[in-house]
Chain A
Amino acid sequence: MKDLKFVTKILHCKFAKEDAHGSLHMPVYDNVTFEFKSAEDIELAFAGKKPSHMYSRISNPTVEHFEKKLKSVTNAIGVIALSSGMAAISNTIFAIASTGDNIITSKHLFGNTYSLFEQTLKDWGLATRYTDLTKVELVESLIDKKTRAIFLETITNPQLEVADIKALSRLARARGIPIIADTTMTPPYIFDSKEFGVDIEAISSTKWISGGATSVGGVIIDNGLYDWRKNSKLARDAAKYGPFAFLTKLRREVYRNLGACMAPHNAYLQSLGLETLAMRADAACSNTQKLAEFLEGQSKVRLVNHPGLKRSPYFKTAQKQFKEKPGAVLTFDLGSKQECFKFINGLKLIRRATNLHDNRTLVLHPASTIFCEYSPELKKDMGVRETLIRLSVGIEDTGDLIADIKQGLREIK
């Protein structure tokens, strides 16, 4: 059948090889190595002339099936699964950039990503140029011959900023550099990255995709839009592998050598998670919208931030980019850090935990947790206020969440 839709494609994605026992789910191949019938067969496999797995750090049937399922609902040329979202970002950067190069991004980044750029990669000689990605002219002024990518989060965390990705991709295309997007908050189903000109997606599949935090994982998706001959590090690979230069560089060098592979058991869990992604995203996005609107009417709440609110400066862009599903995270400000803590401690249903897109609603005070390593000045620069609370909204019944928030707010006198 042709023209299958998102959920059907995922549920009915065929195995690469018929299962010996007719299993409906791809079994967990939790082994390390795979046997060959002859020396000639091993030679062919190593040369990429035979579709065989050799060693699970490089590829594995369960992991491959997860990659295949995800690929079936994108227009990508390839997907690689990794051990975490941070592995997806770091592997991508290591594949395309070298010492002396630079990338352009926003300071409004997930705290660990900022740390990766500002500490880990800085030590290896990669410069990160920070700007406001919602202003294309500022981005353009930072591009030079050593710029290897524009890196963005489709919805920044916790600022919930939304850049105009089509405008950025037009600029990137004109200047011959790729767009790398962390689409963790808006995975396939919510955001068609290829349509908006994103070259590479780096996702923490721990969040939405895993099924609501069942396991840690990451994915890299190559949409096949970028001409890798324009990247000095990949030019030689591009001459040999054409549009597959980036994926080949990863699979046969960077990903292989760094060893950030996804565990087969995690791939199994994440494959199951993918099957319900659409339903969970519908429920969580709907809950988020209702909670944001409810919080706007509460006198103790000073400011509510969610790109789904009509007064949000990112409302129109978010509606256009995310098919009217502008994520399932919202933030709001109370009067002080003390009020935030009283609210958080007063909750009886919503969990106090650091993650996004669990099936349960999670609450966090970002300034004292995921941004605790940064100075007050830097936190201010990053838009992380002491008065800010983040809710990652789950799929519970909306009324129960509103009732819990009401009792949390009652703790603030």
Chain B
Amino acid sequence: MKIKVNGKDEILKQGSVSVEELLKIFKVESPDAVTVQLNGEFLKTSDFKKTGLKEGDVVDFLYLMGGGRCR
């Protein structure tokens, strides 16, 4: 499955995964501090697990240093 992560084209061998799984696959640093934008919309942290990714999705990881994150 092709998606775009932080501006780069990526191919996920695992197929469709959740945002939470994507954070693990990409070994995102400080996953409890990251803010995730999916197709331009900010996700709540509580939705990471239930939000599945699909072909062509655009994902951005953003750090607002100092506690800025969705719950």
Contact = CB atoms under 8 A, between A and B. Distances in A.
A244 B67 contact: no
Contact of B29 (A51, A78, A81): A51
Interface string A56-74: 0011000110011011000
Interface of A: 14, 16-17, 48-53, 58-59, 63-64, 67-68, 70-71, 75, 77-81, 224, 241-244, 247-248, 251
B68 A64 contact: no
B65 A244 contact: no
A49 B62 contact: yes
Contact of B65 (A64, A71, A241, A242): A64
A244 B35 contact: yes
B2 interface: no
A78 B67 contact: yes
A81 B68 CA distance: 12
Contacts of A247: 64, 68
16 contacts: A14-B32, A49-B6, A51-B63, A64-B66, A70-B67, A77-B71, A78-B64, A78-B68, A79-B67, A80-B66, A81-B66, A224-B70, A242-B41, A244-B68, A251-B65, A251-B66
Contacts of B65: 48, 51-53, 58-59, 64, 251
A77 B29 contact: no
A107 B25 CA distance: 55
Nearest to A241: B42
A58 B71 CA distance: 23
B30 A78 contact: no
B30 A17 contact: yes
Nearest to B7: A49
Interface residues of B, number: 22
Interface string B20-42: 00000000011011110100011
Interface majority SS (helix, strand, loop, mixed), chain A: mixed
B4 interface: no
A52 B66 CA distance: 10
B33 A49 contact: no
Given A51-B33, A67-B66, A79-B67, 16 more contacts: A16-B30, A16-B32, A49-B62, A51-B34, A51-B63, A53-B65, A59-B66, A64-B67, A67-B67, A70-B67, A71-B67, A80-B67, A224-B70, A241-B42, A244-B35, A248-B68
Interface string B35-55: 101000110000000000000
Nearest to B6: A49
A187 to B, nearest CB: 16
A323 B29 CA distance: 39
Contacts of A16: 30, 32-33
Contact of A244 (B33, B34, B64): B64
Contacts of A251: 64-66, 68
Contacts of B70: 77, 224, 243
A13 to B, nearest CB: 11
Contacts of A49: 6, 60-63
A58 B65 CA distance: 9
Contacts of B32: 14, 16
B48 to A, nearest CB: 15
In the A-B complex, the 8 residue pairs with the closest CB atoms: A78-B68, A59-B65, A242-B42, A51-B30, A67-B67, A51-B63, A79-B67, A71-B67
